[in-house]
Structure 1
Amino acid sequence: MSNPSKAKGTSWESAFVAYLREHHNPGAHRNVQMGAKDIGDVAGYYLHAVEAKAEKTITLATYIEQANRESVHAQQPFGCAVVKRRMKGTADGYVVRDVRTDVRLMNRLRDMEEALRAAAPAAYALIDRQHREAA
């Protein structure tokens, strides 16, 4: 690849996909770019359109605007930017979204947890314990 910036971005996307495949979703993959109707850089991050960024100068507002626009195109309820942290590994990168999106996500999580707790208390307790131990 003759463009070093593009190579850096591709490397970050690939590293993020590998991390997702190991820790979240084995079916995660890089998306083909769609131009004006782009659906994000990575598919397989549950409920999210992902805009992956590995740049020296970080411009969060631009990243979030792009991720939110792409979430509509991808028919996902949430958009986020996954930003590489300089001199750190993939797990130390940043997942960034605006407050509006984060509150919608937290409301959904709260509502789903309350529904599961009411419908299947034993299953809720097991899942809750597993996630607390993994932290």
Structure 2
Amino acid sequence: MSASKKKGTSAESAVVAYLRSRGFIQAERRALNGSQDRGDVAGIPGTVLEVKNCARTELASWVDEAEIERVNDGASLGAVWSKRRGKSNPADWFVIMSGRQFVSMLRELLELPPQADEPKEGEAA
């Protein structure tokens, strides 16, 4: 296994262990699915998580990747969980998502109905 793959596997395992410790006992690492990838973590209904442990931060491509995986999975929420340099606990890492995903999450949390007039990716509001 390459060093890069090992870093990724380690980060994914750490996120899964953290989620399980916080009550998400169904969380598990997901096997790769090629072009129909559905994220790195399974077991959280309606949610796709893409885990990153990279020296270089590439927010735009990571968020785009999480969005593709969210669509592939039919999930309502997609986010990137990125390892933070110097921090070993995933509780201290970053969770990144688009503004669209954040507002969608807030609306769901507050039990507000989805908005039918939400602009598509790349369109102005």
**More helix per residue: 1 or 2?**
1
Residue 91 (structure 2) pairs with residue 91 (structure 1): yes
Larger Rg belongs to: 1
Q: Deviations over 1:94-118 (max 9, x none)?
A: 1110001100110111126xxxxxx
C-alpha displacement at 1:90, in angstroms? 1.5
Q: Which residue of 2 aligns with 1:31?
A: 30
Total equivalences in the alignment: 111
After superposition, the CA RMSD in angstroms is 1.2
Deviations 1:23-73 (CA, angstroms, capped at 9, x unpaired): 031110000100000010111345311110000101011110000110111
Q: TM-score by structure 1 length?
A: 0.78
Structure 2 residues without counterparts, runs of 5 or longer: 113-125
Q: In the TM superposition, what are the counterparts of 1:36-47 in structure 2 within 5 Å? A: 36-47=35-46
The residue type paired with residue 80 of structure 1 is: A
Give the ranges of 4+ consecutive aligned residues of structure 1 lying more than 4 Å apart after TM superposition. Answer: none
Residues 26 and 44 in structure 2, CA contact (< 8 A), matched pair in contact too = no
- 2:108 alignment partner, SS class: helix
